[in-house]
Amino acid sequence: MPRYRLLALLLLFLAGCTSQPPAQFAAEAPPGPNALLDGRLFGVGPADAPADPGLLTVNDDMRAFLAERVPERASDSRKVELILEGILAGGLELEYDNLLTLPASEAFYRRAGNCMSFTNLFLALAREVGLRASYQEVMVPPTWTEGDNAWFYNLHVNVLVDLPGAEQVVDFNIGDYLRAYPRRLISDEAGESRYHNNLGVHYMTHDDPTRAFLHFREALVLQPGAGHVWTNLGTLYRRQGNLAEAEAAFRHAIDLDREPVAMSNLARLYREQGMPTLAADYARQVERVRSKNPYYQYYRAKQSYDAGAYAAAQRYLERALRTQAKDHRFHHLMAMILTQRHQPELARKFLRQAEALAGDSDKRRYGDKLELLAGG
């Protein structure tokens, strides 16, 4: 996207929710989105940017790799199998490294990378052999951090291949993927935005704030309405001690899409700065969002189960199952709760449902537990 379009795109998002209380840390007017991205606090200018990663570029070595392994006349489903075999088995034998977020060609040469790197490589190779493949975003359940009264979404990305009469998901971190999770196709620009966001988080947590800022800004050039990136930018400003900018970035993320992590981080910021009333207001908003999320109810059910509060655990899980009945873990936990509450028949019913929804490895585990319940 041409850089001169940044201003026009950002102005589209200035008119958001007006129900938030006034900003607290700005001496005059709070900084707007353009000011948050001007780079002056990080010693960079508007034209500074990370090098173009060529995220899905395919070179001659990659084409030769495909020519050796994927016949042109192979069916689409067979092409998927052959590319995966080449990446993971007798070809590249890529190794998983959570710290490496790489474009396709670099993952090809380094033979390592994280889930995003593997996704980029597979997507580039799949398109090169004529497959209709796209990035797919999966809303993996949030991780809850109770001590900070904060929550964090893991925006997981995989590949969806459009096959004749079917579709196939290619996911290199299959432990994070269930068909029950909400998912949606995203554009290549959105995929590249997530790439830069990942690198921004990496550099932020490795004490390189300038590079972190450049990658967050690039992510927002590509996708100005990405609330989670504005939230991360706010966290970067907070870590640098720029409270007015941190507050403005969090508030903008909330204006865009009621971004819950931004609400939680804003509550934390106000609490740390001795503003308990404002902190409590945003904490209540976080709790309202949490209460509607089945995975938070599942988290509370697990907490209660571990504490021996089985009746409370059952109440939380019943709420979760009302809105998400396709996650085998919910049914498994309910079976465990009902076993503790001396209701073996009902426990067996939920365990059978967990087995029906689970993958092969979990099916075996649940089958073993069913045998134990039957014996008991």
What pLDDT, on a 0 to 100 scale, did the predictor assign at position 105?
Answer: 98
Encode pLDDT of 15-61 as tens digits: 333 356 666 766 567 899 999 999 999 999 999 999 999 999 999 99
pLDDT at res. 116: 93
Domain assignment present for 33: yes
Q: How many CB atoms lie within 10 A of CB 271?
A: 17
Residue ending a domain, among 265, 291, 317, is 291
Residues 256 and 301 grouped into a single domain = no
Which pLDDT score, from 0 to 100, does residue 27 have?
53
Range of the domain at 333: 294-375
**153-191, pLDDT tens digit by residue?**
557 899 999 999 999 999 887 555 666 677 899 999 999
Same domain, residue pair 302 and 189 = no
Residues of the chain with pLDDT under 70: 1-23, 25-28, 90, 141-154, 174-180, 359-376
Beta-sheet pairing, 132-145 with 183-186: antiparallel
| 352 and 260 share one domain | no
Query: pLDDT digit string (tens) for 207-216?
Result: 999 999 999 9
- pLDDT score of 1: 44
Question: For 52, which DSSP code?
Answer: P
The three-state DSSP-derived secondary structure of 127-161 is HHCCCEEEEEEEEEEEEEECCCCEEEEEEEEEEEE
> What is residue 174's predicted lDDT score, i.e. its pLDDT?
58
Residue 255, token pair as written in the block? 């204006």
Show the tokens assigned to 332.
């498994």
pLDDT at 341: 94
State how far the Cα of 284 lies from the Cα of 15, in Å rounded to an integer: 24
pLDDT of residue 146: 43
Distance (Å, whole) CA 257 – CA 252: 9
Instruction: State the total domains in the chain.
Output: 3
Q: Are residues 180 and 218 in the same domain?
A: no
CATH classification of the domain holding 369: 1.25.40.10
What pLDDT was estimated at residue 91? 75
Supply the DSSP symbol for 147: T
Helix (H, G, I), strand (E, B) or coil at 94: coil
Position 318 in a domain: yes
Alpha carbon 332 to its chain centroid, in Å, reads 25
Instruction: State the pLDDT at residue 81.
Output: 94
* CATH number, residue 118: 3.10.620.30
On whether both 112 and 147 belong to a single domain, the answer is yes
Asked whether residue 306 falls in the same domain as residue 364, the answer is: yes
**Whether residues 175 and 268 fall in one domain:** no
Is residue 100 a part of any domain in this protein?
A: yes
Residue 261 lies in a domain: yes
